[in-house]
Amino acid sequence: MARVHTVTKILHFSFYFAIILCCFTNNASANRELDEDNWREILEGEWLVEFYAPWCPACNALAPAWRELSSRAARKSLAMKTAAVDVTKSPGLSGRFVVTALPTIFHVKSGEFRQYKGPRDVDSMLSYVEQEKWKQAEPVPSWKAPHSLQMSLVAEFFKLSQALRSVHNMLMETYGLPTWGSYLIFAIATIFIGAVLGLILVCIIDLLYPPRRSEKVLVTQADLDRRAKGDQEKKSDDDQELINDDIVDEEDNANSDAEKNSPSDTSEDEKEKPAEGGGDSKPGEGKQNTEVRKRRPRKAD
């Protein structure tokens, strides 16, 4: 009889242990811990995802309700699953989802993301899923979606900043450098990396768009002498043309003076003036008229 009771107790213990193990397994699978490697699981199906940090008091206050949410969703056989992201372990995901406050909850339905801004109790979150209240909220734009290319670049920058922060802490804690010493090292490294990247960029531009090189024309000394001789001859021809113009102008002036001072013209003028003026003309008036002369304009030098 003792053995029968012992076997019965063992069976009961195994049964209850299996039930408890199944419950814990369901809870563990319902509340999925996401990181940089497995976060794309939420692109399929319906999820509620919490972003938290261990040092956040509001996140610690939400933890019991979040665990109860996962267990009640499993008991109601909802298709919705719950997941959580520790931003201290996965900083890239906080940048990918643009998390600016903790805790932050996202509703994900077939790769469409909406931020949950309702009450943080279990009933409100369950009714948000059961009654499909998420349809009233605007989804995240496609260009801002976590799985887009630009948000992937933002996630890489967040991971880089976290790596630089860890290096900064290592320099101060392990090597005992002061804060300004760590900043000085980062400044020098930034300048050096910027110079290297600038050199690489210039080389790439030169390869893609090579500069146009002007062709050099070789001129012999004989050609130079010939060009210089031609310039001198042209200059001498211009000077000779100017001299000829001056000679022509002087001859024209002399001819005009001779014509004006000829006796015939003077006598005719003297005869006509008294006749027209009625004898009132003054002496020397005709002479002044004869002195008016016209001159050809000279060519510009």
Q: What integer pLDDT is reported at residue 125 of this predicted model?
A: 93
The verdict on 186 and 247 lying in the same domain is no
Q: What integer pLDDT is reported at residue 115 of this predicted model?
A: 93
Higher pLDDT, 179 or 22: 179
Is residue 27 scored above 50 in pLDDT?
no
With respect to residue 39, please indicate whether it lies within any of the assigned structural domains. Answer: yes
With respect to residue 114, please indicate whether it lies within any of the assigned structural domains. Answer: yes
With respect to residue 1, please indicate whether it lies within any of the assigned structural domains. Answer: no
With respect to residue 225, please indicate whether it lies within any of the assigned structural domains. Answer: no
Three-class DSSP labels, the chain? CHHHHHHHHHHHHHHHHHHHHHHHHHHHHHEEEECCCCHHHHHCCEEEEEEECCCCHHHHHHHHHHHHHHHHHHHCCCCEEEEEEECCCCHHHHHHCCCCCCCEEEEEECCEEEEECCCCCHHHHHHHHHCCHHHHCCCCCHHHCCCCHHHHHHHHHHHHHHHHHHHHHHHHHCCCCCHHHHHHHHHHHHHHHHHHHHHHHHHHHHHHCCCCCCCCCCCCHHHHHHHHHHHHHHHHHHHHHHHHHHHHHHHHHHHHHHHHCCHHHHHHHHHHHHHHHCCCCCCCHHHHHHCCCCCCCCCCC
With respect to residue 287, please indicate whether it lies within any of the assigned structural domains. Answer: yes
Each residue's pLDDT tens digit, 119-149? 999 999 999 999 999 999 999 998 888 988 8
With respect to residue 18, please indicate whether it lies within any of the assigned structural domains. Answer: no
Domain interval for residue 206: 177-211
Average pLDDT value for the chain = 75
With respect to residue 235, please indicate whether it lies within any of the assigned structural domains. Answer: no
Burial of 146 (0-12, 13-18, 19+ CB in 10 A): buried
Least confident among 129-133, 156-160, 284-288? 284-288
Q: What integer pLDDT is reported at residue 75 of this predicted model?
A: 87
Of 121, 154, 176, the domain-final residue? 176
Of 189, 211, 233, the domain-final residue? 211
The verdict on 185 and 256 lying in the same domain is no
The verdict on 248 and 134 lying in the same domain is no
The verdict on 114 and 40 lying in the same domain is yes
Q: What integer pLDDT is reported at residue 174 of this predicted model?
A: 84
Report how far residue 154's alpha carbon sits from residue 207's, in angstroms, rounded to the nearest whole number.
30
The verdict on 93 and 161 lying in the same domain is yes
Q: What integer pLDDT is reported at residue 267 of this predicted model?
A: 45
Of 158, 192, 211, the domain-final residue? 211
Each residue's pLDDT tens digit, 189-230? 889 899 999 999 999 998 888 877 666 666 677 777 777 777
Number of domains in the chain: 3
Catalytic positions: 56, 59
- pTM of the predicted model over 0.75: no
The verdict on 134 and 102 lying in the same domain is yes
With respect to residue 170, please indicate whether it lies within any of the assigned structural domains. Answer: yes
Each residue's pLDDT tens digit, 226-277? 777 777 777 666 666 666 665 655 555 555 555 555 544 444 444 444 444 4
The verdict on 259 and 202 lying in the same domain is no
The verdict on 40 and 96 lying in the same domain is yes
